[in-house]
Amino acid sequence: MRSPFTLWLTSARNAMVLQVPILSIFFGVVVRMFHDDHPPAHFHVEYGEHRAVIEVATGRVLHGRLPPRLRRLVEEWRRLSVRRLQRAWIDAQAGRQPRRIPPLT
């Protein structure tokens, strides 16, 4: 059984397992933060076929696109969780497992 903290990536030559912590899940939105990722501090959002990378401090979409309603939900969660997200970024960059962040309810 796969751990919810594992993302499976496959290529034509081999399969690779990458540990990708899930920070939160709400309304079908999965929020992840990669270990040893590039600045600025950011998190990855997945919802169905939609993907985006969001800056922690500003909420700016760095990559990808989210539908407007989903974007508003993610922004509300980010705004309520910004301190926890900043701590999660520090932990992830240090190779530590970030703590889960409460979902938007």
Q: What is the pLDDT of residues 5-27, one digit of tens each?
A: 344 444 444 544 456 789 999 99
Between 37 and 17, residue with greater pLDDT: 37
Give the E-state strand segments of the chain in sequence order: 6-10, 15-19, 22-26, 29-32, 42-47, 50-55, 61-65
Cα dihedral sign for 55, 57, 60, 66? positive
C-alpha 27/C-alpha 30 separation (Å) is 9
Between 34 and 36, residue with greater pLDDT: 34
In a domain, residue 54? The reply is yes
In the block, residue with structure tokens 């499976």? 8
Residues spanned by the domain of 74? 24-93
The whole-number average pLDDT for the span 64-91 is: 97
Structure confidence at residue 19 (pLDDT): 62
In a domain, residue 75? The reply is yes
Name the pTM for this structure: 0.81
In a domain, residue 74? The reply is yes
Structural domain total, the chain: 1
Structure confidence at residue 37 (pLDDT): 87
C-alpha 27/C-alpha 66 separation (Å) is 14
In a domain, residue 3? The reply is no
